[in-house]
Chain A
């Protein structure tokens, strides 16, 4: 029998349909794989018993002729999504022991379609990080290692557990969230496909908030088709989220025609960064050639406010975070630290000092500062104006082009500790992903090659608001052209 964990979602779906495999068999294979992959530290909570129950339900659904795209597919859920009765802490100490009474809309949609939950996935604390090093549960290890080396690399972040579980064969797909690149950058670091849809495409209900105007759910899968299938499952309007938009969800898989002839692909000149590794430039150039070869027209475009994107992001996101994280005060749930003889303020201080990690504290302080009286206009208000300009850059560009092609990140995965002492260096990793987050437009990262050390590199495709179909279509063409078949050695087994 073939190793079921090597199947892709689309393949498993067809085998399930034919009755060649059962959801239970598939799930059992994954439960074993999850058990064997502790070295990756991808899961912070495992739910094998629930998984088997859900698998049996999925088998019943299939038997009754009600199979959907995700029926019987074992997936992991980023710890940011509320899952009823199951560990939901956004990998923060401050939410110790928190098990919600409710289910996030995104995960509920998966369960409604018959998907199977393997457990909760590790992440940077409150999704604040680009290397998964800020998790209270310790860093996730990248399944990929450099050629001939036993050194560990970061998986990227914040969706580190999501990408490691998918790249490491311990989930067929995973939910993820992207605030400034938290889906695309880790996807690039692990040779997986990540897609962040348009802001408002997926409900934020039940997603632990980091920066509300930027947070958007998405998926990590092993290829583009799987991404289309899973994204379709989690998308759709939700009255419980005022910022979700009431638009029909297209059949995303149907968009994968492979035909981009006549399409215009924009190449933003501002993304040629000084000092960017030559192999990133080379990969980008390769991508351009693939586009041309597929019959697309490649056009140079300008996104003049790109250089302001990172500073803008690091004002807007911390500002919202400083307010969103105020609810973690030790009063109602999670961690509570008290001081002998102390009062309410002492409890707040002790709880938040013990409960939040350094990066989270840093962002709360930045956010509090930029919203303070006397600084609001200079920072927050200015940042909002610049954000509008960045958004307008994209709008203008999309009057001329159908999609935009860029590298996903300025480097391949890096080593642990390499950037964790230098927040600015860490933030720079998001330089190509942040602008699209600020504009709320859809974007993906497609595995496109390996660097000199044999570590994966990704190309980013950006599309117009609500045009995930073009993003997926172009992603599919890159995937096809790249023929990315490299796999990590399964050292963790």
Chain B
């Protein structure tokens, strides 16, 4: 992939990026209380006495959140720390009821790992994970409910987040985007986070600095809480240019926390280093250190599904899928599930090995099916055509009952009505004509009706064979077996 460079007036600059991703853990209850975590509930409907920090209330660790963090660490090939500690991060804010956030500071639950990025040009790049720690989310301040007052919704207060901290390994907005995409894919595969950025279940703090190539890291700015991949890229582009402009004007970049304004497409200062909080971290005395054994880790490992990188390699190497199709399929676990269900059913139906039907099927899934789903605005799990139905359709092509051309029409009807392929073929009389005599008869009629074209063909215009095939297909309503047509047509044309 080409190097991303910010061209300044005085020379080129390279950008250095590190991301801190906050991913909401999928669990029924919050990190330290039994309150529910569903999105979209009425304000303050999912708040326990612990979340509201009532006097004398104590946090107790939700073991499911620990398990999910360990699974996530394993999926990123990371060091799992069998001993970790929850600390208090102290600061005042209206939506932080305890006056501190329970987080992990010195002893996170997960250490170093790796994410492999799939870049647009087909290359890959490794980005290091520094650590993953668990922490509780704050509530939400609502400033638009009353002219004088701010309202506070504590539904999110105490919800478990994983903070996934990358190393400063990324060098372009594209890489940052690819990192988020890949991370989200992995989290969704293993079911530790739904990755939904619009609903806030995944957010990124982006650390941006610039330097002239070969120089040490520059001063970084942290852009807080960016909530879409597109915004992450925009924010980086703007921020890198801003920093380059400062340096070229002879200034110095101040280390600070900034906010991205999606409406204006710019970042602006939130607080400087001097204004930075002193969080006074110390181990939370209400909680014991988190300790678990190898058996706990192994049980977590055993619960992991096949991960996207492995799946993709297997699709390409064992099933012979085109690289592109494999990439498209593994991007979402649900797509893979659909595809694998489909090829299993198809192979069984036509009595072949999956690897003999997989490549063609992958074309159909990533082409016809995904095209239709995209157009309908549906996800693969909402597909009106099930994997089994898709397999039936492809089996009809495979055994010569219908042509690929007819299959497209059948699929369209299936997509609209949900009916099975064989029913549609039967109802509409779309069965492919493979009767040699019948096809020969039609060929003779077509040749007789087009003497001019025949003459040109025989004079050397080979390409006109396509014209005759088209005419035959037209005459049969597309039902003629195209292989057979080709096979029978040529000797007759050649005379």
Contact = CB atoms under 8 A, between A and B. Distances in A.
Interface of A: 81-82, 88, 90, 95, 98, 100-102, 104, 204-209, 211-213, 239-243, 319-320, 322-323, 325-327, 329, 331-333, 344-345, 348, 368, 371-373, 376, 380
Contacts of B57: 102, 205-206
11 contacts: A102-B54, A239-B60, A241-B60, A242-B58, A242-B61, A243-B287, A320-B282, A323-B90, A323-B280, A373-B278, A380-B282
A242 B56 contact: no
A88 B55 CA distance: 9
Interface stretch (B68-76, B95-103, B263-271, B487-495): B95-103
A204 B55 CA distance: 11
Nearest to B284: A212
B278 A204 contact: no
B98 A326 contact: yes
Contacts of A212: 285-286
A82 B58 contact: no
A236 B90 CA distance: 31
Interface in B116-133: none
Nearest to A343: B150
B84 to A, nearest CB: 14
Given A102-B49, A242-B59, A327-B55, A332 B285 contact: no
B413 interface: no
B88 to A, nearest CB: 5
Contacts of A331: 94, 97, 152
Contacts of A81: 56
Contacts of B278: 372-373
Given A368-B280, A373-B278, A332 B97 contact: yes
A372 B280 contact: yes
Nearest to A347: B94
Nearest to A214: B285
A193 B52 CA distance: 37
A371 B90 contact: yes
A320 B285 contact: yes
Contact of B280 (A241, A243, A371): A371
Contacts of A104: 56
Nearest to B34: A240
Interface centre among B52, B90, B99, B152 (most CB of A within 10 A): B99
Contacts of B94: 329, 331, 344
Given A204-B58, A331-B152, A371-B280, A326 B285 contact: no
Nearest to A204: B58
Nearest to A241: B58
B97 A323 contact: no
Contacts of A344: 93-94, 150
A371 B281 CA distance: 7
B135 to A, nearest CB: 15
A329 B60 contact: no
A373 B273 CA distance: 14
Contacts of B286: 209, 212, 242-243
Nearest to A215: B285
Given A212-B285, A326-B100, A329-B92, A207 B53 contact: no
Nearest to A327: B53
Given A212-B285, A242-B288, A326 B92 contact: yes
A28 B152 CA distance: 46
Contacts of A208: 55-56
Interface in B275-331: 278, 280-282, 285-288
Interface in B18-74: 49, 52-61
B55, B58, B92: most-surrounded residue (chain A CB, <10 A): B55
Given A90-B55, A102-B49, A242-B60, A213 B90 contact: no
A240 B52 contact: no
B60 A82 contact: no
Given A327-B98, A373-B278, A376-B281, 11 more contacts: A88-B56, A102-B49, A102-B57, A205-B56, A205-B57, A212-B286, A240-B58, A243-B286, A323-B282, A344-B150, A376-B282
B56 A82 contact: yes
B271 to A, nearest CB: 14
A205 B52 CA distance: 15
Nearest to A368: B280
Please classify the interface of chain A as helix (H, G, I), strand (E, B), loop, or mixed, using the class held by over half of its residues.
Answer: loop
Interface string B364-399: 000000000000000000000000000000000000
B87 to A, nearest CB: 10
A121 B98 CA distance: 26
Given A331-B152, A344-B94, A371-B280, A323 B100 contact: yes
A376 B97 CA distance: 24
A205 B60 CA distance: 11
B288 A243 contact: yes
A348 B99 CA distance: 11
A388 B2 CA distance: 57
Given A240-B60, A326-B100, A327-B98, A332 B282 contact: no
Contacts of B58: 204-205, 240-242
Contacts of B288: 242-243
Contacts of B49: 101-102
Q: Which of A331, A368, A380 counts the most chain B CB atoms within 10 A?
A: A331
B97 A327 contact: yes
A104 B57 CA distance: 9
Nearest to A326: B99
Contacts of A207: 56
Contacts of A88: 55-56
A214 to B, nearest CB: 8
A21 to B, nearest CB: 34
Contact of B282 (A82, A241, A371): A371
A319 B282 CA distance: 9
A160 B90 CA distance: 32
Nearest to A88: B55
B53 A332 contact: yes
A327 B52 CA distance: 9
B44 to A, nearest CB: 10
8 closest pairs, A vs B, by CB?
Answer: A326-B99, A371-B280, A212-B285, A213-B285, A327-B53, A206-B56, A208-B55, A82-B56
B56 A209 contact: yes
Contact of B55 (A82, A326, A329): A82
A80 B56 CA distance: 9
Contacts of B55: 82, 88, 90, 95, 98, 100, 208-209, 327, 333
A325 B98 CA distance: 8
A256 to B, nearest CB: 32
A213 B287 CA distance: 10
A374 B378 CA distance: 55
Contacts of A205: 56-58
B106 to A, nearest CB: 11
A239 B287 CA distance: 12
Contacts of B93: 344
Nearest to B53: A327
Contacts of A326: 90, 92, 98-100
A108 to B, nearest CB: 12
Contacts of B56: 81-82, 88, 100, 102, 104, 204-209
A164 B174 CA distance: 72
Contacts of B88: 323
A89 to B, nearest CB: 9
Nearest to A82: B56
A209 B60 CA distance: 15
Contacts of B97: 327, 331-332
Nearest to B59: A242
B27 to A, nearest CB: 18
Contacts of A206: 56-57
A379 B411 CA distance: 73
Contacts of B60: 239-242
Contacts of B150: 344
A358 B447 CA distance: 108
Contacts of A102: 49, 54, 56-57
